[in-house]
Structure 1
Amino acid sequence: MSSLSDVRIPPEPPALPELEGTPGDVNTFSTEMGSAAGKIESFASFAWGSTLLDGWEGGAAAAYGNVVSLAANDAGPAGAALQAARAAAATYSDALTDLETRLADLAEDRSTYASNRAELQEAKASTASDDIVTIKRLVDRAQELSDQHDALVLSFTTWTTDAETADSTLGDALFAVNGVGAVNSTIAGGVKASTGFPGANASPAANAAWWDSLTPAEKDAMSEIHPDLIGNLDGLPAAVRDDANRFALEKDITWYQELERQDELTPDQRRAYEIALAVRDALDGDRQVDPITGEQIPSLLVVYKPEAHGGDGGVAISLGNPDDVDYLAISVPGVENEAGGVQGGVDNAYNLLHSSRTSGTTGSVGVMFWLDYNSPSVGILDPDFAFGTGSGDAAAAGAESLVRLVDGIREQNQGHQPLITAVGHSYGSVVTSQAGAMGLAVDQHVLIGSPGPGNGNGIDHASDLGVSAENVYVGTSSYDEIADISDGRDRHGVDVTTEDFGAQRFSAESEQRGTRDDVIPVLNASTDDHNRYFETTYNDSEDPTAGATYSESVHAMGQIVTGQGSDPGVADAAYEDPGRRGGGRVPAPGSPRHDPERSHDPDPVVWPPRD
């Protein structure tokens, strides 16, 4: 015998799905595509019939005929591509019409079910517990409504699947259209086939001259058809490279998303996809504003190579246009850096830019994070790194790339050369030092957390970096374990913090520097301090104009970058101690690490200055 507890009220009706887009709008788009295709096809017919003009002969007539033939040849595929797009849109419009009709029916079914469910709830509430006949009827009704609910859910699911299928079918159709870029493809093909096209090893100056020789149409075509080439070609304007690289970035993301949707992403492609997404996120720097003016700082994607360097990727993002600024710093990171971690590098670059702009300068500042070399994938305390093995080739190759980058920037600044500073952190200082020895066209070098300038490359003194020793600056925390690696023998070359090297050392102590409770026993130094050189604390994380506190190092670097490095916070040079193993700076067991800066109290700088 049934009781009221057997009358089970079925679930509430499922949420009504939404239809994205309307058949009318899509139909309008399809009609416009057809109209445009018709005009282009009419032009193609006209052009093919106009390659020869009665009464006109000779060289000029032949040249005219050649140009018109090229235009007609380009117009045909372009018209066909638009017709294919029109057909795909028309099919999608029909699918939307069907989905719209079915959705209206589903809405009515949902409303009916909701009403019947409410009536069942009311009937159950008003039925006496001993009214057996009514209870039996309500139990049967509850089962009927439960079946209706299940059918409704199935109908909604089917409708949603059909909507997604219609959308993906349109995407597949448009993705497969051939000839959308037919005109630019033809133009770009002609440019690449020309005798003036620079080869793979052409100098940045040759690249710049070639680019300047192109017509606006040729430049547009090359940027669209070969964005990976134009975006990474040293010697071209940074804005041109940015446009091409952003185009390549979005194209890659669209492609990888499609492969992921079809479950066809290979492990290497997934890694490149993750790099592309990280680069896109790093470019979206809403918080990166000028601390003085409050204006947004432009982010330019100067290098984009998601599959380069063994899959680690290559990337360079400049905060500020390097072709327009008065002061430019190029920040080069060290080991275990990959393009997928670009956000941290851009954050450091912004901290340095912030410090530079508040240093008292009236000039414009740009800071570029550059990672276009195969950064060794070893830890800073790994024997392969600590003893300088397995990483020399990476530094040399990176140095060559960096030299070309800066030469290209110089080409684009013929009328107004910025003061350029190379900032090498950790193993990045090995790269920048070797680049300096190769002729890197910078005005200043900053080496922070440096293990040395490299071994066996002829660098024994600051002046070997291609600038005068007074324009080479060194920042090393007394608790930075990397400072204990260089001993001038078989590791990464000479100790850059000593008087013998001849650089200008500035204080780089952090208020958070290690204590004897958290140091590495053998080195008597902290791993954390190796990564604190760009340390900046903002008063308001959402408003960088509201003030900040700079660590000693990032404040000093801001002074140096803006040409105010005569006294960036001078620190005493480190020196050897007889108690050190092998005469170097690695302490013998039980010996304290000796660095005059160890007794120096960190002195962070507050901006704006407090009264």
Structure 2
Amino acid sequence: MSRLADNFQFSSQECALIEATLDGVITELRPQQKALNQALDEATSKGYKIAPTGEVVYADEGDIPTGDPDAGVPEKEQERRGLEGNIFSVLRKAAEIDARYQIALSRLRVGRGLSVDDRKSQRDAEDISKIAGVAVGLESTPAKGTDPKKVRDWWNDLSKEEQEEQLALNPSVIGNLDGIPARTRDKANRVNLDRLIAMYPEPAPDEVKEKHDGFKAIRERLLNDEGKNPEPLLLGIGPEGQGRAILSYGDPDTANNVAAYVPGLSTTLEDVGGEDGDRAENVWDSANKADHQNKTASIVWLGYDAPQGPEVADTERGRRGGADFGKFLDGVQATHQGDRPHVTAIGHSYGSFTVGQAAQREGGIPADDIILVGSPGTGAQKAEDLGVGANHVWVGAADSDLVTHAPSKGESGYGVITGPIGAGIAHLNDPHELWFGQDPASNEFGANRFDVAFGTPDSHSNYFKPEGGDSLDNMGAIVAGHPEKVTFQGRR
């Protein structure tokens, strides 16, 4: 049954390629057909006959020009040859097009006893793209990073047939374009995921093993969650950098409430198929509990290279990731059906810095609320700097979470010179200044601090679990647009 399902999926992809190929040959032959009809009409209007071979002949023997051979080719004969040359030129061009597409269609044949190979499907798509890509308009596909509203308008202007051709020939692009509908992205990315896994034999080479294992973990999660409520949608997948993955529980295009969670330190692709996928699902459960009458979509967004070690102290990953996260949220708004959704951006650990950078970009982010949990700072000194209003910035910080007490750069530098005691003295001078700016849980920052469990030394990972106390319930209430259900604790 598993093989049969794979065969059906492969057959569907190949049929879409056949459709694109036929559309390509029709598109290329149509102007040749028009040119041929014009040439035929011109020849017949001047009194010539056209042989089945395309030759132009005189209607009557009496029309054949005669005269002195030394005087050169008669004008009438020159006209006949010119008309015949036009017809033959069109026929040669049509024959070249026909031969090229015959080759393309022959490559889509498979033998009896179909054995699916995702790499073959990808190679077929690449071949057809080279042959038919221009004819079916692949060059019109927007580049990644294009304004999501422009992407949305481009996609909506395509016919159903043209959309199917883009999906067949360009799934790795369509699946990762902000501004493309969520279900379309999911359809493309499931194809992308299978192809990414098929790129390497088992066992995968050491240099790609971590990404390879991550892709397999995500596919396993999708298979295990098939048919459940909420349904998982794969909104992004790719091999760039450490790997990219965006997984949603619920459809953000039709949801009333959308939560987009950015994970932080040490997150890998495998975590999207594991703990971080669980966190997104837990947020959905909590929001649904707070308001089961409105639909929620809860997303884990790993669209950047999360720090894996010492680079956690660097700001560049967060800045680049913040720009891409902002563009993703622009896409959520662009493709949403009906009234504007209530959007909550959630950042955990270094992910809170990434969210903070997105919020401080020019124009801000299209979010109604921002949640920061386990945060070492956002790069902002005040909650109001995040652009959604201080009353819509929410912070969860367990007092036992060491990351939320991360020393500032100045304290660290002073400690290198004077030792732990000197660093401690420096921290007393400004206890609420963290590595990436003001402590979001501090009174000076001015955000809402919601209640979480005091926790243990490992509480940094518990905000999305029952061990986090009221943390998950509070996040669900915020995502569902019910701030009156949030429980609070005092700022630092």
Q: TM over 0.5: same fold?
A: yes
> Residues of 2 paired with 1:474 and 1:66: CA distance?
71
**What are the residue-to-residue correspondences of 1:480-559 with 2, within 5 Å?**
480-485=401-406, 487=431, 489=433, 491-509=435-453, 513-514=455-456, 526=457, 528-536=458-466, 551-559=469-477
Task: Please give the root-mean-square deviation of Cα atoms over the aligned residues, in Å.
Answer: 4.0
Post-superposition CA distance 1:143-163 (Å, at most 9, x none): xxxxxxxxxxxxxxxxxxxxx
> Residues of 1 paired with 2:146 and 2:30: CA distance?
42
Greater relative contact order (Cα 8 A, min sep 6): structure 1 or 2?
Answer: 2
**What are the residue-to-residue correspondences of 1:52-67 with 2, within 5 Å?**
52=33, 56-57=37-38
> Residues of 2 paired with 1:244 and 1:300: CA distance?
11
- 1:332 corresponds to: 262
Give how far 1:370 is off: 0.6
Post-superposition CA distance 1:452-494 (Å, at most 9, x none): 112xxxx211111011111111111121112211555572110
Unpaired stretches in structure 1, ≥5 consecutive residues: 1-19, 27-32, 93-166, 290-295, 515-525, 538-549, 575-611
Q: Return the letter of the residue paired with 2:240.
A: A
User: Do the aligned partners of residues 272 and 188 (structure 1) sit closer, same or farther apart at CA in structure 2, a change above 3 Å counting?
Assistant: farther
Q: Give 3-state SS (helix, strand or coil) of 2:290's partner.
A: coil
> Residues of 1 paired with 2:128 and 2:288: CA distance?
45
- 1:564 corresponds to: 482
> Residues of 2 paired with 1:49 and 1:496: CA distance?
64
> Residues of 2 paired with 1:427 and 1:49: CA distance?
56
- 2:305 corresponds to: 374
> Residues of 2 paired with 1:60 and 1:374: CA distance?
63
Matched-pair contact (CA < 8 Å) for 2:145–2:327: no
Post-superposition CA distance 1:41-61 (Å, at most 9, x none): 9xx99x989964899428999
Q: Does 1:451 align with 2:380?
A: no
Matched-pair contact (CA < 8 Å) for 1:184–1:225: yes
Give how far 1:562 is off: 0.7
- Alignment partner of 2:160 out of 216, 231, 237: 216
Matched-pair contact (CA < 8 Å) for 1:334–1:429: yes
**What are the residue-to-residue correspondences of 1:330-369 with 2, within 5 Å?**
330-342=260-272, 343-369=274-300
Post-superposition CA distance 1:181-204 (Å, at most 9, x none): 76566443445664x443444222
Matched-pair contact (CA < 8 Å) for 2:348–2:375: yes
User: Do the aligned partners of residues 214 and 482 (structure 1) sit closer, same or farther apart at CA in structure 2, a change above 3 Å counting?
Assistant: same
Q: Does 1:403 align with 2:326?
A: yes
- 1:267 corresponds to: 206
Q: Return the letter of the residue paired with 1:451.
A: P
Q: Return the letter of the residue paired with 1:234.
A: D
> Residues of 1 paired with 2:189 and 2:209: CA distance?
19
> Residues of 2 paired with 1:201 and 1:360: CA distance?
34
Give how far 1:214 is off: 2.2
Q: Does 1:308 align with 2:289?
A: no
Give how far 1:71 is off: 8.2
Which is further off, 396-405 or 369-378? Answer: 369-378
Q: Return the letter of the residue paired with 1:441.
A: P
> Residues of 1 paired with 2:398 and 2:384: CA distance?
23
> Residues of 2 paired with 1:65 and 1:317: CA distance?
52
Q: Return the letter of the residue paired with 2:223.
A: D
Taking only the aligned residue pairs, the percentage that are identical comes to: 26
- Alignment partner of 2:348 out of 421, 425, 442: 425
User: Do the aligned partners of residues 272 and 60 (structure 1) sit closer, same or farther apart at CA in structure 2, a change above 3 Å counting?
Assistant: farther
- Alignment partner of 1:286 out of 221, 225, 231: 225
Matched-pair contact (CA < 8 Å) for 1:498–1:573: yes
**What are the residue-to-residue correspondences of 1:30-69 with 2, within 5 Å?**
52=33, 56-57=37-38
- Alignment partner of 2:151 out of 207, 221, 246: 207
Q: Return the letter of the residue paired with 1:333.
A: P
- 1:240 corresponds to: 184
Matched-pair contact (CA < 8 Å) for 1:451–1:485: yes
Q: Return the letter of the residue paired with 2:367.
A: V
Give how far 1:215 is off: 2.5
> Residues of 1 paired with 2:119 and 2:248: CA distance?
34
Matched-pair contact (CA < 8 Å) for 2:119–2:199: no
Matched-pair contact (CA < 8 Å) for 1:74–1:183: no
> Residues of 2 paired with 1:251 and 1:346: CA distance?
21
- 1:150 corresponds to: none
> Residues of 2 paired with 1:453 and 1:208: CA distance?
31
Matched-pair contact (CA < 8 Å) for 2:125–2:168: no
Matched-pair contact (CA < 8 Å) for 1:188–1:221: no
- Alignment partner of 1:81 out of 103, 107, 115: 107
Unpaired stretches in structure 2, ≥5 consecutive residues: 8-13, 43-86, 408-430
- 1:251 corresponds to: 195
Q: Return the letter of the residue paired with 1:572.
A: G
TM-score by length of 1: 0.58
Give how far 1:303 is off: 1.2
User: Do the aligned partners of residues 336 and 252 (structure 1) sit closer, same or farther apart at CA in structure 2, a change above 3 Å counting?
Assistant: same
> Residues of 2 paired with 1:54 and 1:313: CA distance?
50
Matched-pair contact (CA < 8 Å) for 2:276–2:300: yes
> Residues of 2 paired with 1:59 and 1:561: CA distance?
69
Q: Give 3-state SS (helix, strand or coil) of 1:57's partner.
A: helix
- Alignment partner of 1:435 out of 340, 358, 367: 358
> Residues of 2 paired with 1:275 and 1:212: CA distance?
33
Give how far 1:401 is off: 0.6
User: Do the aligned partners of residues 304 and 501 (structure 1) sit closer, same or farther apart at CA in structure 2, a change above 3 Å counting?
Assistant: same
User: Do the aligned partners of residues 198 and 69 (structure 1) sit closer, same or farther apart at CA in structure 2, a change above 3 Å counting?
Assistant: farther
- 1:154 corresponds to: none
> Residues of 2 paired with 1:227 and 1:58: CA distance?
41
User: Do the aligned partners of residues 49 and 73 (structure 1) sit closer, same or farther apart at CA in structure 2, a change above 3 Å counting?
Assistant: farther
Q: Return the letter of the residue paired with 2:358.
A: A
> Residues of 2 paired with 1:173 and 1:416: CA distance?
39
> Residues of 2 paired with 1:397 and 1:352: CA distance?
26
User: Do the aligned partners of residues 491 and 65 (structure 1) sit closer, same or farther apart at CA in structure 2, a change above 3 Å counting?
Assistant: farther
User: Do the aligned partners of residues 54 and 531 (structure 1) sit closer, same or farther apart at CA in structure 2, a change above 3 Å counting?
Assistant: closer
Q: Give 3-state SS (helix, strand or coil) of 1:445's partner.
A: strand
Post-superposition CA distance 1:258-282 (Å, at most 9, x none): x33xx7x533343332121011022
Q: Give 3-state SS (helix, strand or coil) of 1:284's partner.
A: helix
Which is further off, 201-210 or 346-355? Answer: 201-210
How many equivalent pairs are there? 402
TM-score by length of 2: 0.72
Give how far 1:314 is off: 1.2
User: Do the aligned partners of residues 357 and 567 (structure 1) sit closer, same or farther apart at CA in structure 2, a change above 3 Å counting?
Assistant: closer
Give how far 1:422 is off: 0.5
User: Do the aligned partners of residues 288 and 494 (structure 1) sit closer, same or farther apart at CA in structure 2, a change above 3 Å counting?
Assistant: farther
Larger Rg: 1
> Residues of 2 paired with 1:453 and 1:74: CA distance?
56
**What are the residue-to-residue correspondences of 1:456-475 with 2, within 5 Å?**
459-475=380-396
> Residues of 1 paired with 2:290 and 2:169: CA distance?
43
Matched-pair contact (CA < 8 Å) for 2:406–2:434: no
Q: Return the letter of the residue paired with 1:465.
A: L
Q: Give 3-state SS (helix, strand or coil) of 2:490's partner.
A: coil
- Alignment partner of 1:412 out of 335, 338, 345: 335
